Every structure is written in structure tokens, then in C-alpha cells.
Amino acid sequence: MKVLSLTEPYATLIKEKKKRIETRSWKTSYRGELYIHASSTKIPKEWKDNKELMALVDNTDLNFGCIICKCNLVDCICMTREYVDSIKKNNYQEFVCGVYEEGRYAWILENIEPLETPIKAKGRLGIWDC
């Protein structure tokens, strides 16, 4: 299975269906089933200080070091200024959950399904096979 590791709280935001776009500095041609792994990395201080972001996971258990859900990666869009402005205006929660900058990539996720039992895994950079 193909897996993508994310630092918390972003993995849990996907699992909870509060985040449906993963923002990345790199594009991918991969399309299809993708599992989301919550890395063991601690939440950086600047993210913890972001009250809007952290409010989205209040009272939610975070799952460090586990594969926690699966989804379908259906598109990878190179962000334009218009795209960034549109997300900020029309889907502010999504905007808070990512790094929206011209030239970065928006990975569009659909059919998000939490796993009944998280799978312990170490994680890796990029899309990896488990």
C-alpha cells in the first residue's frame, strides 16, 4: 500500500475530514489509494501557537507513529495566486490547515476513511510502500 507521512495535527485533520487538501512543495503523478501516516515528530511550537489550527483538533486524540486512515489522491494542482485567493475566501478552514503559496502543490484527497485500528509504522519521506 502507498503511504504518506504527515506531522500531527495534519494527519488527524485528514482522518477527521477537516482537511481534504494536502499542501506540498513537490508534485506527484501518483493517483489512487493513499494511506495517511501520523509521524512520530512532535508538533512544532509555531503550529501549537496557531490557535485556529489547534482548535480544529481540540479534544481529539492524536496518533503519533501510526497509519490512521486511507483516502484517494485524485489530483495534484500547482497553486496559482487565484487558487490561493479562492481557497482563502471560499474555504478558510482548509486554508488554515495548509501552506497555501503560489508555486506549491495542492494534493486533492477524496473518500477519506479512518482505520478502525491504527497501524504502528515508522514512516518515511515521500510516498512510500508499506
As given in the structure block, the three cell numbers for residue 24 are 506540498
| pLDDT higher than 80, residue 119 | yes
| Residue range 90-103, pLDDT digits in tens | 999 999 999 999 99
Distance, in Å, from the CA atom of 32 to the CA atom of 49, rounded to the nearest integer, reads 34
| pLDDT higher than 80, residue 44 | no
* pLDDT number for residue 55: 86
Q: What's the pTM?
A: 0.92
Write phi, then psi, for 121 (nearest 5 degrees).
-160, 150
Out of 3.20.20.70, 1.10.3720.10, 3.10.20.30, 2.30.130.30, the CATH code matching 2-129 is 2.30.130.30
- Spans of all domains in the chain: 2-129
| Residue range 104-113, pLDDT digits in tens | 999 999 999 9
As given in the structure block, the three cell numbers for residue 95 are 486554508
Residue 5 neighbours by CB distance under 10 Å: 22
